[in-house]
Structure 1
């Protein structure tokens, strides 16, 4: 995968307090990266460094595109301004130097996409947190960025608003916008992110990638005098349970033939065989942190 940017040995100190230490990783084209870690681990500081809002104490950020990388930022908190959505977005478009004709068309597109057309003339100080967060993201994608940086995009939203925002972010993923975000919500990790980077004490602790794993669910029945012990000992069996006098076995696809043969050899009868796929996080790189960052 081609990278958009690469961070090399990024560190940040405030008044001799280390916030980030020797952070190195890259963000690929069309990739969604989630930064996870406890509060105070340096996640938000790292995002602001990527956006150029603050400078690192040491280290470099390399732009790997042939053109200048366009980066947009969605902060965690968005103010309740006494402006209408349309007034605010048109003002942001002017600040970004967008052509008036393009800007008017783009604002209309975003209003429709984000479901805010009917409230375009309503002042934002009357908006809910979910509506404000939509405007927050809209201002960041007025001109399509190469990299969208989001700080806790679902923070403080109810379940319905979270699903709305997740759907919009998935649409942007289909538009090939790369993203890096901080998040605590599992829905973002499971449904959006391709990779997670865990920060601990200001350092990268581990990298994980999301992969698909194939399983087969076998619904079968055994004679009453036959034990399921040997079947449960087959490799790649995460689950074997009794259901209404029969059994349901979940087994990794590569071990399914062995499981089926064993059931038949035990004079069992196969009722159904259903292939399934699950997403799971696989640790691609782990870094041991010795001691604590002062």
Structure 2
């Protein structure tokens, strides 16, 4: 039981890393970016290429995957996404879902349709038993990284000048510009960081979730569930939602394998019936 709980927490932490970038772009920038999973896939494939073709150690590929997808996100934000900020959510959805299909077709053409395998370093393989709990070393690694990310992101958004400027730009763009805030730079940096976090999640999740060209389509619904259930006004909501849904998903697939895949959707319905605005969102 405790082993399942630990694995569920690790899975939830991974969901948070994958989803927190979407939480930032959707909650703070009010942009519905369904192509978020494509950036996660890009980070995963960046890790694959760096390890297989350039012999870069796995741990060293993680910051590189973040930087690669952040740069990719910055380029796309400056050339494509920024033209959609003032459009309706339907326009944003249609645009970003189109990017998903472009990404899927491109990766399938360049890398092939086969499942990619990541060889973890020996230090991250296997399990150890602590107080009767069978703990996976790689899952412990994911939990440690996610814990650091949660603290750092929360401090940046709530305690720094950048965080306050971002909130001001979202609340009223014209007033923020009148106060001398460069909204374009703020949005570009935020989008780049959100994309980089997705890429980091894709690199970390490739060994657990698998990686192939349809990755963005397979996990799009998971990203949306985390953000919808948790709410978009804080990072605390998606973090708690990720943990709850991760534990429920792992436990459901273990105890009721025939219906385990539906547990996460059932929880989503229950949460939204009780808190339609999200777990930690302010009621309107």
Normalized against structure 1, the TM-score is what? 0.21
More helix by share: 2
Normalized against structure 2, the TM-score is what? 0.22
Rg (Cα) greater in structure: 1
More strand by share: 1
Q: Which has the higher contact order (CA 8 A, sep 6+)?
A: 2
